[in-house]
């Protein structure tokens, strides 16, 4: 989350020193409101995820369970806020296709939650479940049942590595926002 935090800081500082009226940078008052609120959501989620990555999950499985979902939801919120921030400045939606870690984190959040509870794929269903003893950031494990093969698997992923990759992808989107802000408000 260091890259997101750094570019966010640059965006906030640039806006703070911009002396043009809001209407010179944003098409509508709502676009400015989206920028303003998204800026704070990005900051809050980045700082919270950064702090939690350093600390790791609680040894108490009940607390760790809530922490995992908090981290995953914070990433989801941050992604939505980055998209809102981008659209508020550019007037168009951010192109997130091709951002592999971004998409993988969204998919894993939904998959580990079993969302939807019965995901139909090719006539069969996938049912996923996130237990309480899922592991550290470097090796998160969840349970998945595939009705078409009648098998239960326990996929694993490195959440820390995914977050680090996502951080770089998200920072690139934010850097584009910063460049456009500098163009609109030199």
Read off the pLDDT of residues 39-51 as tens digits, 9 standing for 90 and up: 999 999 999 999 9
Of all helices (H) and strands (E), which one includes residue 127? strand 124-129
The predicted pLDDT at position 131 comes to: 82
The predicted pLDDT at position 127 comes to: 86
Question: What's the pTM value of the predicted model, to 2 decimals?
Answer: 0.93
Q: Is 5 helix (H, G, I), strand (E, B) or coil?
A: helix
Positions of the chain with pLDDT under 70: 114-119
Q: How far apart are CA 146 and CA 58, in angstroms?
A: 30
The predicted pLDDT at position 117 comes to: 64
The predicted pLDDT at position 133 comes to: 86
CA-CA-CA-CA dihedral for 142, 109, 166, 183, to nearest 10: 180
The predicted pLDDT at position 111 comes to: 84
The predicted pLDDT at position 148 comes to: 87
| Burial class for 183, CB neighbours closer than 10 Å (0-12, 13-18, 19+) | exposed
Structural domain spans, the chain: 2-184
Contact 86, 147 (CB under 8 A): no
Contact 82, 174 (CB under 8 A): yes
Residue 30 CB neighbour total at 10 angstroms? 10
The predicted pLDDT at position 132 comes to: 83
Q: How far apart are CA 183 and CA 186, in angstroms?
A: 6
């Amino acid at each position: 989350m260091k890259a997101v935090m750094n570019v966010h800081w640059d965006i906030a500082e640039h806006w703070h020193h911009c002396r043009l009226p809001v209407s010179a940078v944003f098409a509508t008052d709502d676009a400015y409101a989206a920028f303003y609120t998204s800026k704070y959501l990005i900051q809050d989620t980045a700082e919270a995820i950064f702090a939690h990555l350093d600390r790791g999950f609680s040894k108490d499985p009940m607390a760790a369970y809530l922490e995992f979902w908090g981290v995953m939801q914070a990433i989801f919120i941050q992604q939505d806020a980055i998209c809102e921030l981008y659209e508020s400045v550019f007037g168009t939606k951010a192109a997130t296709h091709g951002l592999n870690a971004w998409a993988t984190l969204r998919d894993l959040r939904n998959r580990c939650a079993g969302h939807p509870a019965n995901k139909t794929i090719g006539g069969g269903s996938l049912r996923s479940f996130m237990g309480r003893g899922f592991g550290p950031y470097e090796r998160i494990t969840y349970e998945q049942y595939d009705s078409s093969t009648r098998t239960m698997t326990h996929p694993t992923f490195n959440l820390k590595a995914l977050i680090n990759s996502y951080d770089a992808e998200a920072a690139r989107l934010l850097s584009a926002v910063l460049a456009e802000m500098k163009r609109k408000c030199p």
